[in-house]
Structure 1
Amino acid sequence: MTIKVVRGNPTPEELAAALAVVRARAAAVAATPPGAEGPKDAWSDPSRIAGHRLPQPGQASWARTYWPG
Structure 2
Amino acid sequence: MTIKVVRGNPTPEELAAALAVVRARAAAATAAAPDEPAPRPARPSWSDPSRIAAHRLPQPGPAAWSRTYWPG
> TM-score scaled to structure 1, two decimals?
0.48
Q: Over alpha carbons, which structure has the higher Rg? A: 2
> TM-score scaled to structure 2, two decimals?
0.46
